[in-house]
């Protein structure tokens, strides 16, 4: 039997690890352990509960105003001493590009344990955007033993970096998680959610907004807010803009000050089941989130990406997403095209999702089982 450790710290990592944990746990050839660093404590716990994930090691490393170098050094030490020196593992799984990923990969490398990198090969080709995620994933690729790429473009990025061994294109586990999650939202949960959000008029078209990345702080975020205000005025009778506002004061204070309109609903951050439910209810999604760029096409939702660059160009190339950045006029014009041109909307909504079909976790498990 092979012993595997799934190591993660944030909500997005937990979501994308959840279907993998389920797949490996269902196979008697694997002993599965789960370790969390709790970079996102509350949001992480919501996902663990929703997907019924049992945690074996909870490092709970976060403290207020912690710097990146403090967090990174603490993570390497805690992962090593609390987990890797207590049990022998054949594989350590890390997902994506967080500080937990880099620290976990280095800790496993120092212990000479094989590192499995999920969602490998994403690149913006700008070390400072997103920061520090781009550097985290580049460095993780140098020490990983297995690279599971979501798309061929991700594989090509690794090829250019002279990484050729154990590289597989398998799709993205976020699609597996999305489909698992929607199955869990039954009729009772649907009624509960409709009751909770009864102040939103779902008979109108819903435009869902998520915007929280540090690249958009300051003037870019103000420009995005200006665009949302213009859109809300133009389509006052036919749309509801729903914006779960991040708690960071760089976002929250500006949004509450600027986004004042009857058809703009500023709400508290959504937990994962609420978010995927709201995505499913929406007509258009404006986001700077990486995960939503991958999920929305599976639901047939056009995405306007509120970033100047994205490491997920496959969606843009496939026609499921449009890169609009923080340009006020571009955000407005592209939203209007989706609202006013049914043919244009349908073309984007029905484009093939380049990120997978919900079988990624099974593919990864089968490959690791052969090793």
Query: Which residues belong to the active site?
Result: 97, 119, 133, 212, 214, 246
| Closest listed residue to residue 331, CA positions, set 223, 216, 212 | 223
Residues contacting 365, CB < 8 A, separation 6+: 20, 23, 24, 27, 30
Beta partners for residue 33, in sequence order: 5
SS (H, E, C) the chain: CEEEEEEECCHHHHHHHHHHHHHHHCCCCEEEEEEECCCCHHHHHHHHHHCCCCCCEECCCCCCCCCHHHHHHHHHHHHHHHHHCCCCCCEEEEECCCHHHHHHHHHHHHCCCEEEEECCCCCCCCCCCCCCHHHHHHHHHHHCCEEEECCHHHHHHHHHCCCCCCEEECCCHHHHHHHHHHHHCCHHHHHHHHHHCCCCCCCCEEEEEECCCHHHCCHHHHHHHHHHHHHHHHCCCCEEEEEECCCCHHHHHHHHHHCCCCCEEEECCCCHHHHHHHHHHCCEEEECCHHHHHHHHHHCCCEEECCCCCCCHHHHHHCCEEECCCCHHHHHHHHHHHHHCHHHHHHHHCCCCCCCCCCHHHHHHHHHHCC
Burial of 237 (0-12, 13-18, 19+ CB in 10 A): exposed
Phi, psi (deg, nearest 5) at residue 99 = -65, -35
Query: Left (φ > 0), alpha (ψ -120 to 50) or beta: where does 369 sit?
Result: alpha
């Amino acid at each position: 039997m092979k012993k595997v450790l799934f190591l993660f710290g944030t909500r997005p990592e937990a979501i994308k690890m959840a279907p993998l944990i389920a797949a490996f746990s269902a196979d008697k050839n694997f002993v599965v352990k789960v370790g969390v660093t709790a970079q996102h404590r509350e949001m992480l716990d919501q996902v663990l509960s929703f997907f019924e994930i049992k945690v074996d090691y909870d490092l709970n490393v976060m403290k207020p105003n912690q710097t990146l170098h403090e967090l990174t050094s603490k993570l390497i030490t805690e992962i090593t001493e609390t987990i890797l020196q207590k049990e022998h593992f054949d594989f350590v799984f890390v997902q994506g590009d967080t500080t937990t990923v880099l620290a976990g990969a280095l800790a496993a490398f120092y212990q000479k344990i094989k590192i499995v990198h999920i969602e490998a090969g994403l690149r913006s080709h700008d070390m400072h955007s997103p920061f520090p995620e781009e550097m985290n994933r580049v460095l993780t690729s140098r020490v990983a033993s297995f690279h599971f790429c979501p798309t061929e473009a991700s594989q090509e990025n690794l090829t250019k970096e002279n990484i050729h061994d154990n590289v597989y294109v398998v799709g993205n586990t976020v699609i597996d998680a999305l489909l698992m999650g929607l199955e869990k939202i039954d009729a009772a949960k649907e009624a509960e959610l409709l009751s909770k959000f009864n102040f939103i008029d779902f008979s109108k078209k819903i435009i869902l907004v998520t915007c929280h990345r540090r690249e958009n702080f300051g003037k870019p975020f103000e420009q995005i807010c200006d665009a949302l205000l213009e859109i809300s005025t133009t389509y006052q009778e036919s749309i509801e803009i729903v914006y779960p506002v991040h708690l960071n004061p760089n976002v929250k204070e500006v949004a509450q000050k600027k986004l004042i309109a009857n058809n703009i609903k500023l709400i508290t951050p959504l937990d994962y089941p609420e978010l995927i439910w709201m995505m499913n209810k929406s007509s258009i999604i404006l986001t700077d989130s990486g995960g939503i760029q991958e999920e929305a096409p599976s639901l047939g939702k056009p995405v306007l990406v509120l970033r100047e660059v994205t490491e997920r160009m496959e969606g843009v190339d496939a026609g499921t997403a449009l890169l609009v950045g923080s340009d006020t006029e571009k955000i407005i014009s592209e939203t209007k095209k989706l609202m006013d041109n049914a043919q244009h909307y349908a073309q984007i909504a029905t484009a093939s999702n380049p990120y997978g079909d919900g079988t990624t976790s099974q593919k990864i498990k089968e490959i690791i089982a052969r090793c």
